[in-house]
Amino acid sequence: MVVAKAQQQDSVNSSDNPTQKTLANKHQLRLSANVSSPIIYQWMKDRTHYEVVLDYSFKNETYLVVSGGIGSSKMDEPELRYTSTNSFVKVGIDKSMLQRLFPKDWNMMFIGLHYGIAPITRNDATYTIYDNFWGTTSGTIPAKKSIAHWASLTLGTRVELFSHFFAGYNLRANFLMNPNSFKELPPVYVAGYGKVEKSTTFDFALYLSYALRWNRLKGK
């Protein structure tokens, strides 16, 4: 009887408490920018990489993630010259391994599984073969379009430095699904994946983020 009374009192207190009716900051949509790749590749003249990420928290510390970007690379050797460009899109799920301590706690350490796709254009390639006996031979290999598919395992963090602004990093292991498509003159670098001449690649990136948040009533 005492327990029943206590439960009834808790129910009354919960219904009268406005903080129990509204779960603050239930929804979050966060936009992130990869800030490390553009800086690093300023010093590597053979490639570029630009990326933005959008993630939405929807249930049980799980985040739906969509990212995209563009990039380019070039081979510039005396014997062989060509350039390539690509865009990419990745979609997946991130799962936070940290339990939120209170409604406004959005710090996270997460693991994720993503799928990536990148349409690639390799432009005409010119080659020169130097031979002391036969002399010098030059030619052109026609341009080619291809598509890369890969899966990524991700480990990362996002820490709220101050209200709505985050910083964090991603560590990724990427697994190319169609390596046979890049046996001949592969791009030097594919933004979003790395070197497609390798069936497995690893990368690291730093991100700065801004989050939009809104509330909803419990039960809606």
Report pLDDT for 9: 45
Report pLDDT for 115: 98
- How many Cα atoms are found within 13 Å in the side-chain-facing hemisphere of 11? 6
10-residue mean pLDDT profile of the chain (220 residues): values are 44 42 66 95 89 92 96 93 97 92 87 98 92 82 96 97 96 97 92 96 97 72
49-54 CB contacts, 8 Å cutoff, 24+ apart: 49/189, 49/191, 49/192, 50/191, 51/191, 51/192, 51/205, 53/207, 53/209, 54/29, 54/30
Report pLDDT for 218: 55
pTM of the model as a whole? 0.84
CA pair distance 107, 157, nearest whole angstrom: 8
